[in-house]
Structure 1
Amino acid sequence: MRLGIMQPYFFPYLGHFALIAHTERWVVFDVSQYTPKSWMSRNRVLHPQAGWNYINVPLANSSIAIATHEARVQDLQKTRISVLGKLTHYRRKAPFYEQVVQLVNRTFDAVASESLVELNVQGLAAVCAYLELPFDYSVCSELGLELQHIDSPGGWAPAISQQLGASFYLNPPGGRDLFDLQDFARNGIQLGFMQFDEFRYDTVPYTFEPGLSVLDVLMWNSPQKVREVLSSHSHILDA
């Protein structure tokens, strides 16, 4: 089983979904210290004049003193209105504006609590459903794993992989320096890294900005096109 483990990001960039598309099981990593002003509570879309603009999830308790799974959204309805408001300039310009608005609304409609993790997981699930990507996920804090002994950032992935019976762990290349190959090898787990090449697309009348939220990608590209890109722009590298 090929496993991916990532923090719960808010409508993350397309490479996040490329990683999901190349794994068989996904763990939402929500047991470590929360990081304020990270991709967990904000992302970026095109600005109506130039450059990019943040879409934010204001929290009631944003602090490094909490674990990620303890983070709570201040006001879900106000957050929904704010996010949708920062997308209105795409109307009549982006061909898939209505579909993306529906996706955002489905995300917020599915959230039953103020949990930031739940909001972000529902966002991932909504995007995967729209793209027809399998998304077999578990939330780490709900798995009952033995993780108390972890004392380094590189220790989480091999421990979770071993306890879930993974044979292959796939990570973005930016995490290469975190890991000791032997931590995986001693449990018969292969370690690999997935490089995702930049995908450039037409955003006329705006100037293209790289690395924006998946919402921007979906505004301008059909689900079929995005699925093709998730395959053609992804490269799995050996450790």
Structure 2
Amino acid sequence: MQPYFFPYLGHFALIAHTERWVVFDVSQYTPKSWMSRNRVLHPQAGWNYVNVPLANSSIAITTREARVQNMHKTRASLLGKLTHYRRKAPFYEQVVQLVNRAFDLTTDNSLVGLNVQGLAAVCGYLELPFDYVICSELGLNLEDIDSPGGWAPAISRQLGVSAYLNPAGGRTLFDPQDFTRHDIRLGFLKFDEFRYDAEPYTCVPGLSVLDVLMWNSPQAVRQVLVSHSHILEP
């Protein structure tokens, strides 16, 4: 999966159902995607974006080349857009701590590095195993990929995996035979909408995991990752 910025809860349901996570950073970068922004509750109503401004946002680069313009300002902006949760959300302090942990452990201005540390911080808080590898560091032969659905079977085959799991929204990308001819089981994870009490706000499903964690205990979230997940056949 591409490295998203504090993604929605369904992303972590996928992590919870896999043994190894491949951070997909070798394809063309997509500006204004979930890699550089997400959504949290707005102080008045609805939601607003939290963003990671980049120094080189362009389709001319690969994802691994994306660089954060200013890590300090990005952290300050994100934390600033979370301050309205302070007196209302029961787990505000814990969420701020995990956000700071992600930024503290990012050693350079790499967007991939920041987003991976964000995933790791959330998984650590939820006590979810997160065994990840960075695709660009694996030395795989990916020169002949000619379609969006070609990356996953090629990577899976070269890593010698027995099964590959993808979000259900991507079912149309794949030809199941690209997996079965190499004895790889293909599955799709469907994650049901999760609604929760966000008083005095109105719950908006599908926001960043940061919003979910503001209102729900780690134990409750772990249960939802199981109860709201369904693995589908091709």
* Category of TM-score, reference length = shorter chain: over 0.9
Q: Which amino acid aligns with 2:146?
A: D
Pick from 35, 38, 42 the counterpart of residue 33 of structure 2: 38
Q: Secondary structure at the match of 1:160?
A: helix
Gaps of 5+ in 2: none
Q: What's the offset of the Cα at 1:19?
A: 0.2
Alignment of 1:1-239 (within 5 A): 6-239=1-234
Q: What's the offset of the Cα at 1:210?
A: 1.2
2: CA distance, partners of 1:92 / 1:178: 44
2: CA distance, partners of 1:108 / 1:172: 27
2: CA distance, partners of 1:131 / 1:215: 12
Q: Secondary structure at the match of 2:43?
A: coil
Task: Please report the TM-score for the alignment, with normalisation by the length of structure 2.
Answer: 1.00
2: CA distance, partners of 1:154 / 1:43: 25
Gaps of 5+ in 1: 1-5
Q: What's the offset of the Cα at 1:174?
A: 1.1
2: CA distance, partners of 1:210 / 1:76: 28
Q: Which amino acid aligns with 2:143?
A: Q
1: CA distance, partners of 2:169 / 2:86: 35
1: CA distance, partners of 2:64 / 2:84: 33
Q: What's the offset of the Cα at 1:173?
A: 0.9
2: CA distance, partners of 1:190 / 1:26: 16
1: CA distance, partners of 2:205 / 2:169: 17
Residue by residue over 1:23-79, the C-alpha shift from the partner in whole angstroms, topping out at 9 and shown as x without a partner, is 000000000000000000000000000000100000000000000000000000000
Q: Which amino acid aligns with 2:123?
A: C
1: CA distance, partners of 2:70 / 2:37: 15
Q: Which amino acid aligns with 2:199?
A: V
1: CA distance, partners of 2:2 / 2:95: 23
Q: Which amino acid aligns with 2:228?
A: H
Q: Secondary structure at the match of 1:192?
A: strand
Stretches of 4+ aligned residues off by more than 2 angstroms:
none
Q: What's the offset of the Cα at 1:92?
A: 1.1
1: CA distance, partners of 2:7 / 2:33: 11
